[in-house]
């Protein structure tokens, strides 16, 4: 009987302790609410500038999210939600062009998408937007200009352009349309037998676009492929799963999520799959993030692709979105992503006031990066991000070139204007394998000198190198489009050249992986 009484007493103690904890938590909650309401009331009634009741609460809510010190959690305003939806869905109501801002807050067209109102109306790269619906856009921020051109599909907008070589402004009436930004903007044979597929985002049609590109290139004779995901910041998770499934065997693991609760959720390959075990290279860089890292990590862990390039960004946090009253949206981190071998994709960073993400430094001598094994027993390295099987750093500009760019930073708009003018002047009759002629560079330098962009004689070599490279890039784009520019630039792309060299010498995936180990 005594033993049962002891158990009863211990149970009573536990219940009392839980009750005390609950009361304490409730009291803290009440005290916190009281403090907040007192501060909010004083700010709303006494602060020198009126915020309005809704403004007070919005700032308080934003402050709460900021104090989480998580750069990926955010409270989005209704305006932010519109931009977020466009990025996720890959479409918006507009004219179908991208722009850039130059000297004096002038907004210029930098790209016209195919099958869009802008293309149909004859808008070209280099056109400056000077008015929208009769209202001057000169001197306005780029975001203010683009917001005027966007709107509901089917509505009309009058845009006035200033075009180089045309004395009078050109006013065009465009009917806004649902503009879809392609996930795979183009695909082509990099050389006989090797297909090139650039994947620039994960929108709602990414998997279908990758499938279509691979199948079309296969019909053209492709036996192996390069999937270029450099600069791809991610997007829809379901599309990452679908694209991984294209290359993996059914039921192979793709990614797992570990939440605060300790619950692990895993996703595996399922759905449509591309036939064949063709050799595959994936290219990554420090701009490859999120959904891109899921695909690259899964293909690497299962030995389905050889990863070449630079360590990826390392965004391995899972966000969930919660719609709120008034059109607001709360995006909160709820878990972390892990590759099939158990590698954490995430690299810890802090968000600085200037908007830069800065990685938390790790002494890899004292704390070596963790090692994991692929399905075939290859070593894959963890520690955040996807570390390539073969690291090939992107070309970096030299010290003197960096100095030239720094010295002329305030005159960047003048330099861009001159580059655009020269590219438009020489694009006619340009051969795909062109090189920048010395006389073109001399004329460009004369224009820049006349515009006041002058540098010391010791910088001549660096100046010529930068201007030649930029003129070459812009010429290729205006003459041959994005696809033509990619073809043209490939000869100077060391990461791509390494991929091509390995694919030429190996006609199986196992041979490709073995060659990487032997290098």
Do the domain assignments include residue 249?
Answer: yes
Do 136 and 204 lie in one domain? The reply is no
Which of 203, 204, 206, 222 is closest to 214 using CA atoms? 222
**Position 311 pLDDT exceeds 80:** yes
Region for residue 52 given its phi and psi (left: phi exceeds 0; alpha: psi -120 to 50; beta: otherwise):
left
Q: What is the pLDDT of residue 160?
A: 95
Catalytic member of 228, 285, 312, 315: 315
Q: 406 and 394 in contact (C-beta within 8 Å)?
A: no
Do 209 and 316 lie in one domain? The reply is yes
Do the domain assignments include residue 459?
Answer: yes
Q: How many whole angstroms separate alpha carbon 486 and alpha carbon 479?
A: 12
Catalytic member of 127, 267, 285, 301: 301
Query: What is the DSSP pairing of strand 224-228 with strand 253-259?
Result: unpaired
Q: What is the pLDDT of residue 193?
A: 98
Q: How many whole angstroms separate alpha carbon 48 and alpha carbon 321?
A: 35
Which of 86, 82, 83, 159 is closest to 123 using CA atoms? 159
Q: Considering 377, 392, 407, which residue would you say is the last residue of a domain?
A: 392
Residue range of the domain that includes 430 = 399-495
- What φ, ψ does residue 43 adopt, rounded to 5°? -60, -45
Q: Residues 289, 229, 192, CA angle at the centre, nearest 5°?
A: 170
Do 210 and 350 lie in one domain? The reply is yes
Domains in the chain: how many in total?
Answer: 4
**Position 261 pLDDT exceeds 90:** no
Do the domain assignments include residue 457?
Answer: yes
Q: How many whole angstroms separate alpha carbon 208 and alpha carbon 204?
A: 9
Residue 301 a catalytic site member:
yes
Q: Considering 392, 410, 436, which residue would you say is the last residue of a domain?
A: 392
Do the domain assignments include residue 452?
Answer: yes
Q: 382 and 372 in contact (C-beta within 8 Å)?
A: yes
Residue 91 a catalytic site member:
no
Residue 449 a catalytic site member:
no
Which of 233, 236, 172 is closest to 200 using CA atoms? 233
DSSP assignment of 425-437 equals HH-TT--TT----
**Position 4 pLDDT exceeds 50:** no
Which of 311, 391, 376 is closest to 508 using CA atoms? 376
**Position 93 pLDDT exceeds 90:** no
Question: For residues 36 and 146, which has the higher predicted lDDT (pLDDT)?
Answer: 146
What CATH code is carried by the domain that includes residue 111?
A: 2.30.42.10
Do 388 and 408 lie in one domain? The reply is no
Q: Considering 180, 197, 227, which residue would you say is the last residue of a domain?
A: 180
Do 168 and 214 lie in one domain? The reply is no
Catalytic member of 244, 245, 268, 290: 290
Q: What is the pLDDT of residue 267?
A: 93
- Three-state secondary structure along 56-100? HHHHHHHHHHHCCCCCCCEEECHHHHHHHHHHHHCEEEECCEEEE
The number of C-alpha atoms within 13 Å of 393 and in the hemisphere containing its C-beta is 3
Q: How many whole angstroms separate alpha carbon 370 and alpha carbon 350?
A: 22
Mean pLDDT of 175-194: 92
Q: What is the pLDDT of residue 101?
A: 73
Do the domain assignments include residue 2?
Answer: no
Mean pLDDT of 358-364: 70
Record the pTM. Answer: 0.76
- What φ, ψ does residue 4 adopt, rounded to 5°? -65, -35
Question: For residues 50 and 270, which has the higher predicted lDDT (pLDDT)?
Answer: 270
Largest CA distance in the chain: 106
């Amino acid at each position: 009987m005594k033993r049962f009484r002891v158990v009863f007493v211990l149970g009573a103690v536990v219940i009392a302790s839980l009750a005390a904890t609950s009361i304490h938590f409730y009291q803290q909650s009440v005290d916190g609410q009281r403090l907040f309401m007192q501060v909010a009331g004083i700010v709303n009634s006494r602060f020198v500038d009126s915020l309005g009741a809704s403004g007070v609460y919005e700032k308080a809510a934003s402050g709460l999210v900021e104090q989480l010190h998580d750069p990926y959690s955010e409270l989005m305003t209704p305006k932010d939600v519109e931009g977020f939806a466009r990025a996720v869905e890959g479409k918006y109501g507009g004219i179908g062009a991208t722009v850039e801002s130059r000297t004096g807050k002038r907004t210029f067209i930098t790209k016209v998408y195919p099958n869009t109102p802008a293309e149909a109306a004859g808008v070209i790269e280099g056109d400056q937007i000077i008015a929208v619906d009769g209202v001057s856009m000169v001197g306005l921020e780029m975001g203010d200009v683009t917001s005027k051109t966007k709107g509901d599909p089917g509505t009309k907008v009058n845009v006035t352009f200033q075009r180089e070589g045309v004395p009078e402004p050109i006013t065009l009436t465009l009917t806004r349309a649902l503009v879809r930004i392609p996930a795979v903007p183009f695909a082509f044979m990099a050389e006989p037998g090797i297909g090139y597929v650039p994947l620039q985002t994960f929108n709602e049609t990414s998997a279908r676009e990758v499938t279509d590109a691979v199948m079309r290139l296969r019909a053209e004779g492709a036996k192996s492929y390069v999937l270029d995901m450099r600069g791809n910041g991610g997007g829809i998770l379901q599309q990452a799963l679908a694209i991984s499934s294209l290359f993996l065997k059914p039921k192979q693991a793709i990614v797992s999520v570990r939440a605060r609760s300790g619950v692990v959720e895993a996703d595996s390959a399922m759905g449509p799959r591309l036939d064949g075990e063709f050799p595959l290279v994936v290219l990554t860089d420090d701009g490859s993030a999120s959904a891109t890292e899921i695909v690259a990590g899964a293909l690497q862990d299962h030995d389905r692709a050889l990863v070449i390039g630079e360590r990826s960004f390392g965004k391995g946090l899972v966000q969930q979105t919660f719609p709120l009253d008034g059109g607001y949206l709360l995006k909160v981190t709820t878990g972390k992503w892990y590759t099939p071998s158990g590698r954490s994709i995430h690299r810890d960073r802090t968000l600085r006031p200037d908007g830069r993400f800065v990685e938390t430094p790790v002494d890899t001598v004292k704390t070596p990066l963790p090692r994991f094994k692929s399905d075939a027993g290859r070593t894959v390295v963890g520690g955040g991000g996807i570390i390539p099987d073969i690291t090939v750093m992107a070309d970096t500009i030299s010290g003197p070139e960096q100095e030239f760019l720094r010295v002329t930073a305030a005159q960047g708009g003048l330099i861009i204007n001159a580059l655009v003018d020269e590219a438009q002047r020489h694009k006619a009759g340009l051969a795909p394998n062109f090189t920048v002629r010395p006389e073109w560079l001399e004329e460009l330098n004369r224009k820049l000198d006349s515009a006041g962009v002058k540098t010391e004689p010791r910088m001549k070599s660096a100046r010529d190198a930068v201007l030649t490279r930029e003129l070459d890039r812009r010429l290729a784009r205006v003459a041959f489009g994005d696809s033509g520019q990619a073809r043209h630039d490939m000869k100077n792309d060391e990461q791509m050249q390494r991929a091509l060299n390995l694919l030429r010498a190996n006609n199986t995936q196992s041979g490709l992986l073995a060659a990487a180990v032997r290098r």
